[in-house]
Amino acid sequence: MRLVLSLVLGFLLSGCVASVVADVVTAPVKIVSKTADVLTTSQSEADENRGREIRKREEALGKLARQRDKARQKCDDGNEDACATAAQLNEQIEIEQGRPI
């Protein structure tokens, strides 16, 4: 009876040991590959990031253009402060357009 129990326990434990050994052996490879994946950016991720930046820039330019247009309308109505504001907004738009993405 002890012999059968010993054989069964030995067989079951050898599977556990083999599993643990396999996990220990493959762990460094998994860690290195996961680290490399986290640290590098794929081409599709880079494209998504660039597209996101372009959309943000276009939104900012649109907002500045709308503000400039409102200031120009007020300037046409004779508001001197609005003329100065329109000129400043126009400069900001030019700076934003010249900034690399």
Domain extents in the chain? 61-101
How many other C-beta atoms can be found within 10 angstroms of the C-beta atom of residue 64?
20
Q: Which tokens in the block code for residue 7? A: 């054989």
How many other C-beta atoms can be found within 10 angstroms of the C-beta atom of residue 89?
20
Q: How does pLDDT run across 10-61, given as a tens digit for each residue?
A: 555 555 555 655 566 676 767 777 776 667 778 888 889 999 999 999 999 9
User: DSSP code of 8?
Assistant: H
pLDDT value at position 13?
Answer: 56
pLDDT value at position 8?
Answer: 60
Look up the pTM and report it: 0.56
pLDDT value at position 4?
Answer: 63
pLDDT value at position 44?
Answer: 85
pLDDT value at position 11?
Answer: 58
- Angle, to 10 degrees, between the axis of helix 80-98 and the axis of helix 43-76? 160
